[in-house]
Structure formats: C-alpha cells, structure tokens
Amino acid sequence: MVNIYQALVALGLDNQIMVSTTHSFAILSSSFPPSSGAFEESLANSYIKPILSFLSTTGAPFMINAYPFFAYKDNPSEVSLGYVLFEQNDGVVDSSNGLRYYNMFDAQLDSVYSAISKLGYNNISILVSETGWPSQGDNNETGATIQNAQIYHANLLQHLSKTTGTPLKPNSSFDVYLFALFNEDKKNGPTSERHYGLFYPDGSKVYNVDFSLLAAGALLKWHCTLLLSCTLGVMMALFIL
C-alpha cells in the first residue's frame, strides 16, 4: 500500500485516489458490547497498527466486512432475527456507555470504531467493503432464505437512507458495498457461499431489491455499490474520489 501510495504521490494523484485494504470481521477478538471492541492481540500491533498509521496519514478509510448473518447463524437462540434484519425491536443497550442499538449492523461498525480507538486512532473513517445475506444455505445455516435476504437488503437500504450514522458516531457517513451481484455457483464451501448474489449466473433475479432511494438521490451521505465477486490472494482497493 505504501508503494502504491508513493507512486500516486509521484503522479500527483494522491488527492484523487485513496488506497486501503479489506479485513474480515474475524480480526476482532471482541465485538460485544460494541464499546469492548478490540482487535486480536496477535494482529493488533504487528499488523493492524501500521495500517492504521498509514490510513491516518493518507485519509483513506479502514475497510471491514460486516455480516450480521454470521452472528445469527452461529447463535440463533440468543441473537434476535429482527435485530439482525433491521426490524422493530427493543434494542440492546451497551452497559458501558448506555448507548442503545436497534440493529447489529450499527453495533458491528461501532465495535470496529472502538477497536481502532483503543490503538490510539480517532480520525479514521470506516468503509463497509462487504455486507450481504445468503438466499440459501445448508441445514445448519439458520436464516439463509430468500425472504430473509430480501428483508435484509431492503431494510439496510432504508436504514442507510436516514443518514443518521451509528449510536457511537451519529451523523457520520459510510460507504457500503453489497456482496454480491451474482451467485458464485462454482464456489466451494457451505451452500450459503454460492447464494449471496442478487442475480443468478444466467442474469435472472434471485429476488427484487428496490434501489429507488439511490435513484432518487436519497443516499446523500451513505453510498451503496454492488461489489462484483472476485477471488484474489490479497484484495486491495483504489478509490476514485
């Protein structure tokens, strides 16, 4: 990333193009409550902190993959489906700061903010490099249905259109990338891994998603883009401002 950034500086493009890299949510050792968010100790100083230093200097965002589906799948008896699908619920209170969360998406983002802050950085924004919900899964992948996938995306777009940020970072803006455009029908792993797309490989819709909020320009602070699936050893993102 440093080499790419230095090349951009040499070309006078460093103010137009930002350099960052994606991270799995698994880099956190703790995410609940959000205020306890912390990076894995084995990664924090040797890997994460140098990246945060780079991002703090260049102004690029920290990229994180946020999937409330995984939290629900792993513990459906404790995690409310309505909470992960942005549906009406009583919310969950962070006992450390009193903030109330009405959906897991916001809670996951704030846990990342907390983890970043614990390493001494408070000027770095977050970009959600992937989020989505599978339309089909194995018997042990609770919640992976077309209905839930449609509800998740519809309510996510509605939530983003409010431009309210998160409880910890109210009125903050986030770029959000949906995963994925097409089902990856040749992908290995659990059934869900082949069913995150909004479209089948033949181009037909898996389910309907209303992007009228985007067309109407309602997402003034939040920006939502479809992320085409790709398999790379390292995924690096260049952002054209």
Q: Answer for the pair 173, 163: CB distance below 8 angstroms, yes or no.
A: yes
Q: In angstroms, rounded to a whole number, what is the distance separating the alpha carbons of residues 50 and 141?
A: 36
Let me know if 118 is a catalytic residue.
no
Handedness of CA 179, 182, 184, 185 (dihedral sign): positive
Catalytic position from the list 49, 118, 169, 187: 187
Does 87 participate in catalysis according to the annotation?
Answer: no
**118 and 29 in contact (C-beta within 8 Å)?**
no
Report phi then psi at 223, rounded to 5: -125, 125
- Cα–Cα nearest to 74, from 25, 143, 26: 143
* 193 counts as catalytic: yes
User: Catalytic residues, which ones?
Assistant: 130, 184, 187, 193
